[in-house]
Structure 1
């Protein structure tokens, strides 16, 4: 994508963008006004919409310019946990809940577990991992979890899902999901690079999936993600690069290439690649779009489709509500509701966060103030821990001595300790049914009780 650089201007800022569209037409959008920023038209709209698209965003002009000035000092830095962001750019969901959205199309894992063909098994599981990218294209930021915060999900395909924020600096989340067909474990950590009007996100996590029938273990390395037009223009997401899913049991693997978004949206969403055997011979080609569907077809050693075979669809995105305020799917609404909450919900659950709930109710002022209160309580807890020379100990995951290498850095591994299954079994056997009321049940992830901000 081309970039033009020039002096900052007021009204001329957006008119210069429109002018560059008129001048180059079939070429990439130019941007005059702020050095090192990009404005493109990923939806491929016409040039007459250039000025409108450039102005479209979450901030009003004064707020946007003020925020840009405050963020300039962070250009080139990792801002994972060092910057306090305004709730205006948030969605009423936490990162722990976002992790649970991968469970929407878990029927693909049932198909994989029941599949006798080892290569088709990889087709199903790779499609499952791709399915979450449709949710990741939402451009609202989820809340960072408080240390000790949890998220529980039941009542979906027999799955029990538990996630916990196990570290604050650096931010690390761990999650475990299981039903009769699979066991899913992830230690999630990200590294970011702020580039002005965009943000590069590098997934340092380790993701493992076990299919119970044959006991095969799969490990995922996803591509990085780029968030474009954070401040100026329409915010949009791209994930160019390779996704590699390896069967650690057999050595077979899937390598899928996420096409980068080109000029005027060319290639956006497209995914292509192959299932390979352990000798790295292509066996099945896969193609599709991560926001629509994925298909597969057997291929020869040159990667060409076999004669007398057809391209068959394996996954298609479900219908979503129209004009939803936060671009939520029906499943995202379930994740955010108490319909998927178990009996005796943990008081540390994300749904109970007062800032999240206030944002969901549309009260940005209260959401901002509640977010500040929670963050100050978290800092107060840290001071208490340091004064007592104590370390934070997660409840449902244990830190191991394993260090996993990733393409973007090393990762400390947390493993599910099995205690949540015991807790859940005891709670489910209880005869008492507690009706969760977000307005009366207090959010409490605190290690030392619900301390005041001043402590």
Structure 2
């Protein structure tokens, strides 16, 4: 049994809060000579290489696991928009608020720092109001993350799996996010399927990172579709230009008739224009979002696989800027992972996720289905700042 004295759970600020600090002059996680250090790190990486398993030194880590990023996209999003979805009687209006909620789930990413690569079997379990969120790392090679979230009061369920595939292109890294998400409004018998935008890291001429690509949100029952285009168009030498831009439309797939147009920036406001009467209104305002502060309600109930526990010592070292201790802590986690893998291989055992049934084929790809119908309440609580 695990020694309680050795248990270290480190609550850290939300991605949004950390990103704001990193972008400020007082940011505490920026490595000195950032561009020079990054170029030296990548100097032996071949062009076109998949760098999924590339390990960054702790100095380039933000004190969070990628599992926490994934979880925060749900429990730090504007969950009140999901409640609005349920209250709307018109299927078009429900899709509009699903779109607004999806945009609110977009997490900021800061150039030069990255979250920890989750270990196999790592979990992140958080509750916010009646919304319970569970994330599990169901595969390590390749890295695949599965998410299940339920809200008993609103009768809403979310199921999502993601597989990041970052490719190095010399002066940029393109992070393609394979996967599929499902949002179920059970009161209305509707399922909305959606994909994810991709990340584009530019090293030169000016370091930057942006979400790019096309996202489709489709209601399987009504045939209504929202098409969102995440854009980034920096000007000469990376100065100025449009960043964090979203343009899109909502249309009926049966007739291809466009009903609405969308335009704005995901970190500011998104406006919706009615194609028939020209009326324009704001459907999402990022300034009214959710910072998602965490509190520990019941330490005894925190699983040993919880991200805040697995990476607690490393996060504390990074926040204290004790880089020697950070390297030791990171190596300790990675070595435990390798040891467990060797033990399974020696016994001929195959890893089985605890919370999801997972299958994979070349034809269909990955499929991650939650074992339980509902996610239990978590010992870690998120709340609005």
- Shorter-normalised TM range: 0.7 to 0.9
Secondary structure of the corresponding residue to residue 395 of structure 1: coil
**Structure 2 CA distance, aligned partners of 1:170 and 1:401?**
11
Q: Is the 8 A contact 2:111 2:201 kept in 1?
A: no
Task: Extract unaligned runs of 5+ from structure 1.
Answer: 1-56, 301-305, 321-328, 406-410, 429-433, 435-455
**Structure 2 CA distance, aligned partners of 1:222 and 1:111?**
22
Deviation for aligned residue 1:414: 1.4
Q: For residues 343-396 of structure 1, what are the alpha-carbon distances to aligned partners after superposition, in whole Å with 9 as ceiling and x for unaligned?
A: 611111111122123223332221221111111111111111111111111111
CA RMSD of aligned residues (A): 2.7
Q: What is the match of residue 143 of structure 2? A: 171
Distance 1:234 1:344, change over 3 A: farther
Q: Does 1:219 align with 2:193?
A: yes
Q: What is the match of residue 349 of structure 1? A: 306
Deviation for aligned residue 1:236: 2.2
Q: Is the 8 A contact 1:78 1:193 kept in 2?
A: yes
Q: What is the match of residue 338 of structure 2? A: 379
Q: What is the match of residue 94 of structure 1? A: 65
Q: Which residue among 200, 208, 229 is the counterpart of 2:182?
A: 208
Q: For residues 49-103 of structure 1, what are the alpha-carbon distances to aligned partners after superposition, in whole Å with 9 as ceiling and x for unaligned?
A: xxxxxxxx73438x9358526533333100101x221111111111111012222
Distance 1:134 1:98, change over 3 A: closer
Q: What is the match of residue 418 of structure 1? A: 372
Q: What is the match of residue 73 of structure 1? A: 45
Deviation for aligned residue 1:342: 7.5
**Structure 2 CA distance, aligned partners of 1:262 and 1:66?**
21
Q: What is the match of residue 330 of structure 1? A: 291
Q: What is the match of residue 117 of structure 1? A: 90
Secondary structure of the corresponding residue to residue 250 of structure 2: strand
Instruction: Judging by fraction of residues, say which structure has more strand.
Output: 2
Distance 1:119 1:70, change over 3 A: closer
Between stretches 412-421 and 377-386, larger displacement belongs to 412-421
Distance 1:401 1:195, change over 3 A: closer
**Structure 2 CA distance, aligned partners of 1:318 and 1:205?**
29
Q: Which residue among 122, 131, 136 is the counterpart of 1:159?
A: 131
Q: Which residue among 96, 99, 107 is the counterpart of 2:80?
A: 107
Q: Is the 8 A contact 1:287 1:296 kept in 2?
A: yes
**Structure 2 CA distance, aligned partners of 1:243 and 1:341?**
38
Q: Is the 8 A contact 1:396 1:419 kept in 2?
A: no
After TM superposition, the score normalised by the length of structure 2 is 0.81
Distance 1:126 1:213, change over 3 A: same
Deviation for aligned residue 1:183: 0.6
**Structure 1 CA distance, aligned partners of 2:48 and 2:359?**
32
**Structure 1 CA distance, aligned partners of 2:262 and 2:332?**
48
Q: What is the match of residue 358 of structure 1? A: 317
Q: Which residue among 256, 259, 264 is the counterpart of 1:283?
A: 259
Q: Does 1:126 align with 2:99?
A: yes
Secondary structure of the corresponding residue to residue 64 of structure 1: helix
Distance 1:293 1:138, change over 3 A: farther
Q: Which residue among 224, 227, 248 is the counterpart of 1:273?
A: 248
Q: What is the match of residue 186 of structure 1? A: 160
Deviation for aligned residue 1:413: 1.2
Distance 1:341 1:139, change over 3 A: farther
**Structure 2 CA distance, aligned partners of 1:242 and 1:318?**
24
Q: What is the match of residue 26 of structure 2? A: none
Q: Is the 8 A contact 2:71 2:133 kept in 1?
A: yes
Q: Is the 8 A contact 1:146 1:378 kept in 2?
A: yes
Secondary structure of the corresponding residue to residue 205 of structure 1: strand
Q: Which residue among 197, 205, 215 is the counterpart of 1:243?
A: 215
**Structure 2 CA distance, aligned partners of 1:244 and 1:129?**
11
Q: Is the 8 A contact 2:359 2:366 kept in 1?
A: yes
Q: Is the 8 A contact 1:183 1:210 kept in 2?
A: yes
- Count of paired positions: 341
Which one has a bigger Cα radius of gyration?
Answer: 1
Distance 1:69 1:153, change over 3 A: closer
**Structure 2 CA distance, aligned partners of 1:220 and 1:403?**
20
Deviation for aligned residue 1:290: 1.0
Deviation for aligned residue 1:295: 1.8
Secondary structure of the corresponding residue to residue 74 of structure 1: coil
Task: Extract unaligned runs of 5+ from structure 2.
Answer: 1-29, 381-385
After TM superposition, the score normalised by the length of structure 1 is 0.69
Q: For residues 206-254 of structure 1, what are the alpha-carbon distances to aligned partners after superposition, in whole Å with 9 as ceiling and x for unaligned?
A: 111101210210111223220122xx67642122321111111221100
